[in-house]
Amino acid sequence: MALAKDYASVMGRSNEIQKKALGLDYAGYESGSIAFDYEALMKDTGYTLEEISRIQGRTAVGNTPLIELRNLAALSRKYAKPGYGARIFAKDEAANASGSFKARRAACAVAHAKKLGYKGVIAATSGNYGAAVASQAAMQGLDCIIVQECYDSHQIGQPEIVEKARKCEAYGAEVIQLTVGPELFYTFLSVLEDTGYFNASLYSPFGIAGVETLGYEIAMQCRELVGKDPEMVVCTNAGGGMITGTARGLQKAGAVGTKMVAASIDLTGLSMASDKQFNLKSCTTGHTGFGVPYATDPDHSDVPRSAARPLRYMDRYVTVKQGEVMYMTEALANLEGIERGPAGNTALAAAFSLAQELPEDAVIVISETEYTGAGKHIQPQLAFAREHGIDIHFGNPAQEDKPGENVILPADPGMIKAEDADLNRFRESLIRKAVKKAGGVTPTEADLKFLAEETKTDIAFVKNTLEKLGL
Amino acid sequence: MAKKGDWVRIHRVVLKAEERTAKLPEDTKACDLEMWTKGTLLADAEIGDEVEIETIVGRREKGELVEVGPYYTHSYGVFVPEIIEIDKQLRKIMKGGDK
């Protein structure tokens, strides 16, 4: 008998479909209370760092260049006090097959799917990850479907998203495009069920383990180039996989003194599920609309427990403005001769500002660049914004920026400022949501320890927070 | 007129506005959830007809025929004068010697 494919029926079979589509039962990691065994989940991927590196090496992924951005550092020093202005390096992840660091996640997920005997892979993403899965599926001989939130109700899509659809198709994938809304998950599950493909989720342990090589390479390359570990690594933050994997890789390399900074574009006030606001943002990822909800509630993704748990690894969380990232993207092309996509330059805009806090001999690494192309470039993105009534002018982003209304290009590069977000507020929010999700149980000793690890704090912080929240 | 075997794009309403029960902003709730995909047309049809296609991975999908020979039109966009201003400013700061 054919299964009912209406919304309620498919969503009702969600757990069952996901279990089949990942070849992994998450129930074994649950404590029954708030805590779950994160490290066991990561360990059970069954791949060591060396094995992952080998998998990636076979598919043109990893060992990307670490490029010193001397001219941008020199520009940054003009706005720092004497003796300040750190060296800035960029991990040129655009050099991966498919043009972004997401190839690291996809290489492992697709290799795992192949090992388990799946015929194809599916991923729900509007971003670089779709292209990465499609590219890896092509290399490893699997079929691929990408489900993409692409259009508003007038069938208008951001040029950046449309370009990513084109790239997926170029690699031989089917691209299913949808209008705005979280029910994308329904279509995703339904197609997963019908095809029996592997869920190449961005948030599976295989995907996140794939990013660990990035952190490991950064440590090794820094030791070779400058004879030490970087003082700071800045990661563009959306779903949290980049900072999670990179930090874990750095730790595995023994780089324990490196400060991990997450950077997102400030899109405060814009709703990610709003049809009208969908095309009023001028960046499609690397923003707070993903960054904050995923940091404070990692487990609302397309897997039961996300392997990306950014608050475990963050020392700071900073935001920059859309106009600052656009400006830095142009500066990267003009001053360094490297043309790279805008969203990945979020960390660069932040690093340009953060460098001014550190002495000249300190080293900041931005963990990625991404490919650029038609649609995925500041000119079409700014032109699209202007066409949709967004006011674009030079000014002071810190004072004038209003997401959805304007894009303020800094009148002077000295105005580019990474603003610290209140990390403790996010930590408290994570604790509140975790307790609520577990049905408001009284946290056990194991839960307290888990929540301290989840928030990179200690048991005292967790207890204080619980008390403050009346939990 | 589209011929059997043509590469086409189809459109389908996945959920009508009134069927959308997820937690949504009001503006989104008022819209249908729509879907597009591409594939090989399985029988001759006209634009606007309900058709069946086979996608590149071999999946069958039904929907309204909206485009024959679909292609991309995204580009590097129209001129944005501010970009030239950024270039000039950077050149002046780095090569002009002033701050």
The answer to whether A179 contacts B75, with C-beta atoms less than 8 Å apart, is no
Which stretches of chain B score pLDDT less than 50? 99
Domain-located, residue B15: yes
Q: CA angle, A103 as apex, A102 and A109 as ends, to 5°? A: 95
- List the single best residue of B14, B84, B92, B99 to mutate versus A (max A Cβ within 10 A): B14
| Residues of the domain holding B35 | 1-70
The answer to whether B80 contacts A386, with C-beta atoms less than 8 Å apart, is yes
Chain A CB contacts of B83 under 8 Å are 330, 378-379, 382
If one counts the domains in chain B, the total is 1
The answer to whether B94 contacts A335, with C-beta atoms less than 8 Å apart, is yes
Chain B, window 20-79: residues with a beta carbon less than 8 angstroms from a chain A beta carbon: 20-25, 27-28, 30-39, 55-59, 72, 74-79
Domain-located, residue B98: no
What share of chain B has pLDDT > 90, as a percent? Answer: 91
Alpha-carbon span A366 to A340, nearest angstrom? 13
Asked casually if ipTM beats, i.e. exceeds, 0.85, the reply is yes
- Which amino acid, B77? G
Domain-located, residue B50: yes
Domain-located, residue B8: yes
The answer to whether B83 contacts A330, with C-beta atoms less than 8 Å apart, is yes
Average pLDDT, chain B: 95
Nearest beta carbon to residue B77 from set A75, A178, A383:
A383
Look at the alpha carbons of A32, A36, A40, A44 in this order and tell me if their dihedral is positive or negative.
positive
Let me know: does A144 contact A121? Beta carbons within 8 Å.
yes
Nearest beta carbon to residue A273 from set B25, B85, B99:
B25
The answer to whether B75 contacts A159, with C-beta atoms less than 8 Å apart, is yes
Chain A CB contacts of B82 under 8 Å are 382, 392-394, 409
Nearest C-alpha of chain B: how many angstroms from A157?
A: 10
The answer to whether A175 contacts B38, with C-beta atoms less than 8 Å apart, is yes
pLDDT at A1 (0 to 100): 61
pLDDT at B25 (0 to 100): 95
With b meaning 16 or more CB within 10 Å and e meaning fewer, what string describes A337-376? ebbbbbbbbbbbbbbbbbbbebeeebbbbbbbbbbbbbbb
Chain A, window 44-83: residues with a beta carbon less than 8 angstroms from a chain B beta carbon: 71, 74-75, 78
The answer to whether B87 contacts A330, with C-beta atoms less than 8 Å apart, is yes
What share of chain B has pLDDT > 70, as a percent? Answer: 97
- Write the CATH number for B28: 2.30.30
**Nearest in space to A434 (alpha carbons), one of A313, A314, A311:** A311
Q: Which residues, in sequence order, are bridge partners of residue A121?
A: A144, A198
Alpha-carbon span A209 to A241, nearest angstrom? 9
- The tokens for A255 are 């780089």
Domain-located, residue B95: no
- The tokens for A446 are 């194991």
Query: Phi/psi at A396 (nearest 5 deg)?
Result: -105, 105
Q: How many residues does chain A have?
A: 471
DSSP state letter for A178: E
| Burial class of residue A310, CB neighbours in 10 A (0-12, 13-18, 19+) | buried
Alpha-carbon span B62 to B12, nearest angstrom? 8
Residue A183 in contact with partner chain B when CB distance is under 8 A: yes
Residue of B nearest to A394 (CA): B82
Let me know: does A414 contact A79? Beta carbons within 8 Å.
yes
Chain A CB contacts of B77 under 8 Å are 159, 377, 379-384
Nearest beta carbon to residue A166 from set B34, B72, B90:
B72
Alpha-carbon span A418 to A420, nearest angstrom? 7
> What 3-state class would DSSP assign to B53?
strand
Chain A CB contacts of B25 under 8 Å are 271, 273-275
Residue A15 in contact with partner chain B when CB distance is under 8 A: no
DSSP state letter for A81: -
The answer to whether A394 contacts B83, with C-beta atoms less than 8 Å apart, is no
Domain-located, residue B87: no
Alpha-carbon span A256 to A87, nearest angstrom? 20
DSSP alpha helix (H) spans, A70-204: 70-77, 102-115, 128-140, 159-170, 184-195
Alpha-carbon span A222 to A185, nearest angstrom? 41
Look at the alpha carbons of A30, A40, A59, A61 in this order and tell me if their dihedral is positive or negative.
positive
> What 3-state class would DSSP assign to B52?
strand
pLDDT at B97 (0 to 100): 56
CA atoms within 13 A on the CB side of A115: 13
Domain-located, residue B75: no
**Nearest in space to A367 (alpha carbons), one of A251, A225, A260:** A260
Per-residue pLDDT of chain A (471 residues; tens, 9 = 90+): 689 999 999 999 998 999 999 988 899 999 999 999 999 999 987 789 999 999 999 999 999 999 999 999 999 999 999 999 999 999 999 999 999 999 999 999 999 999 999 999 999 998 899 999 999 999 999 999 999 999 999 999 999 999 999 999 999 999 999 999 999 999 999 999 999 999 999 999 989 999 999 999 999 999 999 999 999 999 999 999 999 999 999 999 999 999 999 999 999 999 999 999 999 999 888 999 999 999 999 998 888 899 999 999 999 999 999 999 999 999 999 999 999 988 889 999 999 999 999 999 999 999 999 999 999 999 999 999 999 999 999 999 999 999 999 999 999 999 999 999 999 999 999 999 999 999 988 999 999 999 999 999 999 999 999 999 988
Alpha-carbon span A57 to A65, nearest angstrom? 14
The answer to whether B83 contacts A382, with C-beta atoms less than 8 Å apart, is yes
